[in-house]
Amino acid sequence: MAELKVTHLTAEYRRELLGTDVTHPRMSWRIESDRQGTTQKAYRIQTAGENGNFDEPLWDSGLCESDKNVLVPYDGPSLSSCTRYLYRVKAWDNFGRESEWSDPAWWETAFCDSKEWMAQWITPSSESIDPQAEPAFLLRKPFSLKGAEIASARIYVTAAGVYELYLNGEKVGDDELAPGWTSYRSRQAYQTYDVSAQLQKGGNAIGIMVANGWYKGRLGWENKANHYGDRRAVLVQLHVRYNDGTEEVMGSDPTWKASTGAIRFSEIYDGETYDARMEQNGWSEPGFDDLSWGAAERLELPLTHLVAQENVSTRVTQTLKPLAVIVTPSGDTLLDMGQNMVGRIRFNVSAPEGTVIKLTHAEVLDKEGNFYMGNIRTAKQLVTFIAKGEGTETYAPHFTFQGFRYVKVEGYPDQEKGLPPEAFTGEVIHSDMDQTGAFECSDEMVNQLQRNIVWGQRGNFLDVPTDCPQRDERLGWTGDAQVFAGTALFNYNGGPFFTKWLRDLKADQLADGQVPFVVPNIIQGYSSAAWGDAATVIPWAMYTSLADKQILTEQYDSMKGWVDYIRSQGDTEHIWNTGFHFGDWLALDAKEGSYMGATPSHMVTAAYFALSTRIIRDAAKVLGFEEDAAYYGALAERIAAAYRDEFITPNGRVAARTQTAHVLALVFDLAESKDRARIARDLNEMIVENNYHLTTGFVGTPYLCFALSDNGYHETAVKLLLQKTYPSWLYSVSKGATTIWEHWDGIKPDGSFWSDDMNSFNHYAYGAVGEWMYRKIAGLSPDAEQPGYKKVRIEPDFTGGRLSHARASYESMYGTVEAGWTFHDRQIRVEAVVPANAAASILLRGAHADEIKGSIKDEGILSITQEAEGVRVETGSGRYVFTYARTDSTYRIYTPDMRLSEVVQWETAKQILDRHAPGFSGNLNHFANLPLAAAANSPMGTAISKEQYDAISRELSQIRE
């Protein structure tokens, strides 16, 4: 490695940003160094035009004395449309070293003003094609270019519908389901493609296919279509630049021709029908005979709401081969892909003309092993292919996606002799985000749970954060996105993804601040606590994870609007007790026949009111809005006080005896400090009494383990994670799940199903436990005061027993961050990696400073402090390894049946045992340095009689009081 090097340049999170209308793109870079404790002391940025002449830069920041290397905005002259800009960076560090210039990176603008669109929205003439016809429309335009050498060419394109673009017979780009789903009435995205290599001198042709997609297709469970319009249309503009400096621009207009082709039907929910006999070979090539095609006509759609694509593209990101071909007891032939995936099947076939092949997609088999479609509801998930009978044909659907593991195949030639699995390939489709996080530990079922969480995110982050990818829903539910955002931002870089979706949320938010249940909003439901709070929680999560201050600026009015709306509701300023709320959705303590848990909805509304108000307070501080910070800070205190008056009794008990009610009081910091211990103890007792099972729903589950770990019951939290019987996270893993289920008992222990009505097997909300796994088990999290991993908190908690190692890594904007620990031979080994220009605060739990070995005297160590929980080590960048003997500061007392009863201080445990179980405390030293799992399996629990245990329990109760 070079001594000091600048690498990994990005603009607006992307290495290559093609087609942006951001006027001040934010640049980021990483520092690589061969020394620990490296920080950036200064930087210099140069930006050049398309000629790449840095000797005469368009903008030179000059030497900026700053340690900032994340999301630094361009501050040069105004950018021109349709122009590429190159940039490079050099840095100086705290050791007095100066780097070389980085390799150049680039961004390229699209249209900076909607007036630059000269193309027209067009659709097939209603005289030639029925506007409501099911087949996908084909539109084409031949054109000729002059003889000059082409320097560059770009196409700017979008559709009212979903489209595929072709140039001279070849598909343009690798996007799927473009232009994506936005709040079309307010915001319509367009894409930019570099087609320099696809154009040729002389004759050329553009072709575009367009289907209903989200714009016109059936969405929601009420069988409604045409949510945004009743006619498909396209908008295409081509810019060609020649080496002689001249330019040609051409766009869609009524001179284009229109027809239909092989795609006879295509819908998001219902699949696609493709009749290969109706293919129009060469339809997007210049020599094609289109005399029989009809005319196009102009459609009056707006141009002013067009925005350059903000999200990363939706693409095929992985391919899977079938795990097996199976024949069910009922005689169906199925492909088992081995993974509940989202995307499509591509297959090859040689078949006689007119052969009909049908693929039906489903997630699970029933308890008899038969193909099960009940939970898909009215979505057909059916792909039909009709062969033209000419050699080997290859097909995959164009304008739909399915959620599935199993595929029922009908009509494939000679399939009664067995399907050839090599003829089928699963193509995984989702927003092509950069994967940033990884977690693994010593328990392979937990590792499978982590894989399930990641696959659930992949399947449901398809341009919008959907609730499920298979049934007649697939909507951007705000509550699901809100509870999962923290985990999502560990697993993937969600900067572009959430930026785009939050802009849609703001666009669909009502003037009085109400937030829709779903975004983009097609069901017209508004303002449930924990759902509408996506408006505040997600921007703040992005700020803490990515140091994205701009998202707070952009969304601040939306965030305030939501809190101010809540404040205007209810009988008092501080308790929101009106309106419909989903409450602790799908909690197991719900009444029979209800989806809403037993935690009173007004406890949920008040808790989230407090949370969102505090977020506004903190965002105002970040943005420098001092008056708002003071106002919302005082309001948050009044809300918390009102919550205590309403929902916490004078003797410190939570009014509702549900797990979620106790979780909210603790995690949302609503209880007074004097009451926290009792509330935490009550929560722990509820879980122990329930034999270490949870009862929480969408609201309580994401925070349950945090409430336990942060209040002295980390071992209970770990036991919950490792619980394998229903209800638990690992129950679904034990049943073969490869994604997260919507219901804890989506498949019951006897193999039957929870319900046909609402039973997704790919529904990421309960995967929110992943954030706790990263933060508490592996111990990796950003410091709230220095967000975006500028300062890393590495605080692994291995006191829960049963696990012998855990590790997490995260690709931060600064570079790779790692935290991990291993317990072996009575030694704890803690490892940490901190990227250059970042720092870390590392807690070596249970350690004594004079006994630590390893990196304790390395160059990057800034300070070492003995604390009650262990040793706190402050470091600069570098790789660090610490080892020390494990000595627990607490002792676990077990009942005769080995269930954990209490965790008490070491000396207290010894004194109590000496009084009530003489001689037993002599075993303390023997058991102290064993792994907790070994201690739990030792005979020490059976050495205490019931009478002794009761006496111990009474004394512990007195201590608590």
Catalytic site positions? 473, 742
Tokens found for residue 660: 């979620």
Give the dihedral sign, CA 633/634/635/638: positive
- Work out whether the CA dihedral 675, 678, 682, 683 comes out positive or negative: positive
- Distance CA(57)–CA(47), nearest Å, equals 6
Give, as one character, the DSSP assignment of residue 321.
-
Q: Which helix H or strand E contains 675, and what residues bound it?
A: helix 673-689
Is it true that the peptide bond before 329 is cis, omega within 30 degrees of 0? no
Cβ atoms of 846 and 891 closer than 8 Å: no
How large is the greatest C-alpha to C-alpha distance in the chain, in angstroms?
Answer: 102
Rounded to whole angstroms, how far apart are CA atoms 960 and 517?
44
CA separation for the pair 905, 956 (Å, rounded): 11
DSSP codes of every residue in 508-571: HS-TTS--BSBSS-SS--B--TTTTTHHHHHHHHHHHHH--HHHHHHHHHHHHHHHHHHHTSSS
**Amino acid at position 591, single letter:** K
Three-class DSSP category at 292? coil
Cα separation of 620 and 543, whole Å? Answer: 13
- Rounded-to-integer distance, Cα 12 and Cα 17, Å: 8
Q: Across 363-506, where does the E strand assignment appear? A: 364-365, 371-372, 382-386, 392-395, 402-410, 424-431, 437-441, 461-462, 464-465
At 706, the amino acid letter reads F
| Cβ-based neighbour number of residue 939 at 10 Å | 8
Q: Is 56 helix (H, G, I), strand (E, B) or coil?
A: coil
Find all residues with CB under 8 Å of 552, minimum gap 6, and list them. Answer: 539, 540, 543, 559, 619, 622, 623
**Pairwise CA distance, residues 376 & 760, whole Å:** 8
Q: CB of 461 within 8 A of CB of 764?
A: no
Task: Indicate the helix (H) or strand (E) that contains 662.
Answer: helix 659-667
Name the burial class of residue 165, with classes exposed (0-12), middle (13-18) and buried (19+) by CB atoms within 10 angstroms of its CB.
buried
In contact, 430 and 462? CB cutoff 8 Å? yes
φ/ψ of 499, rounded to 5, equals: -60, -50
Rg, C-alpha atoms of the chain: 30
Task: Give how far Cα 319 sits from Cα of 232, 340, 342, 354, 396, Å.
Answer: 31, 13, 11, 28, 13
* HSE-CB for 899 with a 13 A CA cutoff: 12
List of E strands, 411-479: 424-431, 437-441, 461-462, 464-465
Using CB atoms within 10 A of its CB, is residue 430 exposed (0-12), middle (13-18) or buried (19+)?
buried
- 403 Cβ neighbours under 8 A, 6+ residues apart: 340, 341, 342, 361, 363, 381, 459, 468, 469, 470, 762
Is 708 strand, coil or helix?
helix
Residue 663 burial class via C-beta count within 10 angstroms: exposed 0-12, middle 13-18, buried 19 and up: buried
Question: In 760-796, which positions are buried (b, 16+ CB within 10 angstroms) versus exposed (e)?
Answer: bbbbbbbbbbbbbbbbbbbbbbbbeebbbbbbbbbbb
